Amino acid sequence: MSSRYQKGYRRERMVRKHLQKQGFLVFRSAASKGPWDLIAVKDHIILFIQVKSRKPTAKDREIFKTITFDRLIVHKQIWVYIPYKGFKIYHG
C-alpha cells in the first residue's frame, strides 16, 4: 500500500468518523477514480464528499461545479484536512 494511498485512506476515515458521530450513514467509494470518496446520508440530506490533503486546485473546483443532480437536494463538498486545525469544508 503506497504512502499516498494510506494518507488518503486515513483522511477519509477521519471524515467518515466525524460524520457518523453526527448521525450520518456513510458509504466509501474504495479505489474509485470518480469525483466522490464518500457519500453520507441522514434524513433528507445527501452529502457527496471529496477528501483532500491540500487546498483544491482550480481543476478540482471546475469538475466539482459541473456535476449536477436534477430534482434532488444534494450538497457537494470538498473536505481538506489541515494538521492541528481540523477540516476546512468547501461547498459546491
Which amino acid is it at 10? R
Query: Which residue, among 72, 73, 76, has the nearest Cα to 63 in the 3D structure?
Result: 76
CATH for 32: 3.40.1350.10
Question: Three-state SS for 6?
Answer: helix
Q: Widest CA span of the chain, in angstroms? A: 40
pLDDT by residue, tens only, the chain of 92 residues: 568 778 778 888 999 999 999 999 999 886 656 778 899 999 888 888 888 878 888 887 777 776 666 666 677 888 888 888 888 888 87
Q: Which residues pair with 50 in a beta bridge?
A: 78
Residue showing cell 436534477: 70
* Cα–Cα distance, 29 to 42 (Å, whole number): 18
Range of the domain at 37: 3-91
* Cα–Cα distance, 25 to 32 (Å, whole number): 19
Residue 79: partners with Cβ closer than 8 Å, 6 or more residues away: 11, 15, 49, 50, 51, 52, 87, 88, 89, 90
* Number of structural domains the chain divides into: 1
The pLDDT, as a whole number, for residue 13 is 92
